[in-house]
């Protein structure tokens, strides 16, 4: 029996997340940007102003290269799938563990995995791992020799770098008591191995077990075998002590030099098809504030290095929405901000995967007629009790529509990073996490907001989708109703009696429309879809899994004061969508 025919469970799962709440930029003026309507090419209809997503015409999104589209799995037309196609994961130092995890994700409909990455940390000789020794002496001191050392650093990612990492005379590979390290001596000034000012930095890398595989090599190998894509986490600076939402840029030169060595090692030892690119884990809100110029400088520097050393690879960056009225960012600033992020691409394909903020309470998923409804209990733990309209500038669909307009023409690709957890309450705690378990129903509502994104990934598989918690793991809940239809946009033409629905898993759907006519009568009508376009997303440069259906409900009228309507669909697998609320212009 296929999983979408099995009984559903209402149990919740647990999940974890570390909250990063940036401060230091002024509260923006609350501005609600009216997003322009788009023509639906196939039927030339105007989409409603307040639908959950404005459907974009061809040309409204940047052209996606063959490399960028290669990450979508080849799904059969009759096969239902959940719209999330990529996941952040934790890497293992065992091949079998990594292969099984990627195999499970592929069977789940995913084709992409991403590791988060760690920071290049300032250190002292005393803080160098005690196991990194050469003949009983500190490995960093031995590598430095008589050179003038400015600073010491560690990059302890548990890796096991091989001999090709050794490039300069003072570099060395150290194995001691079953642990493996690489010690790099980086020139403080100038390229190559010799510093023009006579000063150097020392970086101790790795810390993996000598009997273990290198996690990044293992994941890239597994991705290659399974026809998947792996994005490795990039090095990043540590946070500033005074302003922890900003990176410490006091050693930008060292970070740049180490980035070169990090990428050169991947180019020499990990250049396999499964290595699709790299992920920038230095984060920032999606804003045009110059406060975050230091973050953009890191993106630009590292993107230049990726494009030079591994020119066929891509990069992912994941800024986050902050839609809260109290200290958040407007859609206008978001539109301008994503354009600034896109301009750091430096020639490579840059995928901007916006965090939807639903796991941290910074973003909101509500529809056109729900501005006056109370926020859900999860969001209330962050923003307090109140209505969606009072607590948030706009729903996430407005932010993603603004972002789509912002990246248009830049060459960057708009992705979505769906937060697969929820703010913690007394009822959904998960171990010692700052975040709690979420529900399949909440994920469905989040997905309704993400129709303009070219690809949807999620943070993260471990442990948000796999945590047992007090109920069934989230991935198991999804399997039980993987064929759920997800509506991302609609169009309703009362005078023509025409309804168009865009979304996922819409094949064979019956559409139920609810509205109020000019006489004040509440009406409801269920009609089988007359037309289906299974390639709608591909044709319009959007998510290739998006479909559209058309329905004729007969000419009617709509109340001028109650011009809201709602739509649900039931597809051929017997699954019903979350109700979609919209408003006519």
pLDDT in tens, 473-493: 889 999 999 999 999 999 999
Q: Which residues contact 136 (CB under 8 A, 6 or more apart)?
A: none
Average pLDDT on 34-54 reads 33
Q: Does residue 36 carry a pLDDT above 70?
A: no
Q: What percent of the chain has pLDDT over 70?
A: 85
Averaged pLDDT score across all residues of the chain = 87
User: Helix, strand, or coil here: 231?
Assistant: strand
Contact (CB, 8 A) for 473 and 100: no
* Pair of tokens at residue 262: 């990090």
426 pLDDT tier (thresholds 50, 70, 90): confident
Lowest mean pLDDT among 22-26, 277-281, 338-342, 449-453: 22-26
- Res 105: pLDDT: 97
**Which structure tokens are listed for 216?**
């990044």
pLDDT digits (tens, 9 = 90+) for 164-186: 999 999 999 999 999 999 999 99
**Mean of the pLDDT values across residues 15-31?**
35
Q: What angle do CA 427, 319, 88 make, to 5 degrees?
A: 60
Report the C-alpha gap between 135 and 133 in whole angstroms.
Answer: 6
User: pLDDT at position 469, please?
Assistant: 62
324-347: per-residue pLDDT in tens? 999 999 999 999 999 999 999 999
**Main-chain phi, psi angles of 476, to 5 degrees:** -70, -40
Cβ-based neighbours of 215, under 8 Å, separated by 6 or more: 91, 92, 93, 98, 115, 157, 158, 159, 208
Q: Which pLDDT belongs to residue 457?
A: 98
Q: DSSP letters along 508-522, please?
A: T-EEEEEEE-TT--E
Higher pLDDT, 74 or 184: 184
Query: In this predicted structure, what is the pLDDT of residue 585?
Result: 81
pLDDT of residue 78: 63
pLDDT at 68 over 50: no
Nearest Cα to Cα of residue 186 among 117, 237, 255: 255
Q: Which two tokens stand for residue 538?
A: 């591909």
In angstroms, the CA 279 to CA 291 distance is 22
- Residue 146: which pLDDT band, with cuts at 50, 70 and 90? very high
**380 or 585: which leads in pLDDT:** 380
How far, in Å, CA of 462 to CA of 89, rounded? 6
> What does the pLDDT average to over 367-371?
88
**Residue 51 above 80 pLDDT?**
no
Rounded Cα gap, residues 283 and 18, in angstroms: 13
Total H helices, total E strands in the chain: 13, 28
Nearest to 118 by CA among 164, 153, 152, 71: 153
CA 244 – CA 24 distance, rounded (Å): 10
Give the Cα separation of 45 and 280 in Å (integer): 40
Strand stretches in 300-376, DSSP E: 314-317, 350-355
Question: What is the model's pLDDT at position 47?
Answer: 33
pLDDT value of residue 470:
59
Q: Name the pTM for this structure.
A: 0.86
pLDDT digits (tens, 9 = 90+) for 515-557: 999 999 999 999 999 999 999 999 999 999 999 999 999 999 9
For residue 245, give both structure tokens: 């939402």
C-beta of residue 545 within 8 angstroms of C-beta of residue 537: yes
- Is the pLDDT at 48 greater than 80? The verdict is no
Residue 11: DSSP 8-state? -
């Amino acid at each position: 029996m296929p999983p979408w025919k099995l009984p559903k469970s209402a149990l919740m799962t647990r999940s974890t997340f570390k909250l990063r709440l940036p401060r230091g930029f002024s509260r923006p003026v609350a501005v609600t940007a009216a997003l322009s309507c788009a023509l639906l090419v196939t039927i030339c209809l105007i989409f409603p102003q307040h639908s959950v997503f404005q459907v974009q015409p061809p040309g409204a999104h940047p052209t996606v290269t063959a490399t960028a589209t290669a990450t979508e799995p080849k799904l059969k037309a009759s096969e239902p799938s959940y719209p999330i196609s990529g996941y952040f994961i934790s890497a293992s130092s065992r091949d079998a563990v990594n292969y099984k995890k990627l195999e499970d994700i592929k069977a789940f409909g995913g084709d992409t995995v991403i590791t988060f990455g760690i920071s290049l940390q300032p250190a002292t000789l005393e803080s160098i791992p005690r196991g990194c020794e050469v003949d009983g002496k500190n490995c960093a001191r031995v590598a430095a020799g008589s050179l003038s050392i400015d600073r010491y650093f560690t990059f302890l990612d548990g890796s096991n770098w091989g001999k090709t990492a050794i490039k300069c005379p003072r570099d060395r590979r150290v194995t001691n008591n079953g642990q493996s390290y690489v010690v790099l001596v980086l020139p403080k000034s100038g390229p190559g191995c010799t510093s023009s000012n006579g000063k150097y930095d020392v970086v101790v890398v790795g810390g993996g077990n000598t009997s273990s595989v290198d996690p990044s090599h293992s994941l890239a190998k597994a991705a290659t075998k399974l026809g998947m894509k792996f994005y490795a986490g990039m090095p990043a600076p540590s946070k500033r002590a005074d302003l922890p939402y900003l990176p410490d840029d006091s050693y930008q030169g060292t970070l740049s030099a180490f980035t070169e060595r990090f990428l050169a090692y991947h180019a020499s030892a990990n250049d396999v098809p499964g290595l699709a690119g790299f992920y920038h884990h230095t984060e920032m809100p999606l804003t045009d504030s110059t406060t975050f110029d230091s973050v953009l400088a890191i993106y630009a520097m590292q993107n230049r290095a990726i494009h030079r050393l591994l020119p066929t690879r891509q990069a992912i960056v994941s800024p986050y929405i902050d839609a809260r009225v109290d200290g958040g960012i407007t859609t206008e600033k978001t539109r301008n901000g994503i354009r600034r992020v896109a301009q750091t691409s430096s020639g490579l394909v840059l995928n901007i995967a916006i965090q939807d903020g639903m796991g941290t309470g910074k973003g909101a998923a509500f529809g056109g007629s729900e501005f006056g409804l109370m926020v859900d209990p999860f969001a209330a733990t962050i923003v307090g009790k109140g209505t969606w309209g009072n607590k948030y500038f706009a729903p996430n669909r407005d932010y993603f529509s603004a972002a789509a307009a912002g990246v248009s023409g830049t060459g960057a690709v708009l992705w979505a990073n769906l937060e697969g957890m929820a703010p913690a309450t007394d009822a959904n705690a998960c171990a010692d996490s700052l975040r709690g378990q979420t529900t399949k129903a909440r994920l469905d509502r989040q997905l309704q907001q993400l129709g303009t994104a070219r690809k949807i990934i999620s943070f993260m598989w471990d442990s948000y989708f796999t945590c047992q918690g007090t109920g069934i793991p989230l991935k198991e809940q999804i399997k039980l109703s993987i064929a759920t239809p997800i509506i991302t946009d609609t169009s309703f033409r009362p005078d023509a009696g025409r309804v168009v629905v865009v979304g996922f898993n819409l094949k064979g759907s019956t559409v139920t429309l609810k509205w109020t006519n000019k006489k004040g009568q509440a009406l409801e009508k269920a009609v089988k879809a007359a037309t289906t376009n299974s390639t709608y997303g591909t044709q319009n440069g959007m998510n290739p899994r998006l479909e559209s259906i058309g329905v004729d409900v007969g000419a009617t009228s709509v109340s001028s004061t109650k011009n809201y309507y709602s739509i649900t669909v039931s597809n051929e697998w017997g699954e019903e969508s979350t109700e979609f609320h919209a408003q006519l212009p």
